[in-house]
Amino acid sequence: MKCRVQALLGQIKALMFALNYCLNDFLHEIMALALVDTSHVD
């Protein structure tokens, strides 16, 4: 039972890491777009 919980925690950590990575990428894209938009307004 214990090693099953460890495996599950490992999967959750991997999933969180992947989500965090995707989210960071997404935020960088949005920031880049926002910067482009503001420079056009100027």
pLDDT (tens digit, 9 = 90+) per residue, 6-27? 999 999 999 999 999 999 999 9
11 or 38: whose pLDDT is higher?
Answer: 11
35 or 11: whose pLDDT is higher?
Answer: 11
Report the domain count for the chain: 1
Give residue 30's domain range.
1-42
pLDDT at residue 34 is higher than 80: yes
4 or 42: whose pLDDT is higher?
Answer: 4
CA pair distance 18, 38, nearest whole angstrom: 30
40 pLDDT band, cuts 50/70/90, is: low
CA pair distance 28, 34, nearest whole angstrom: 10
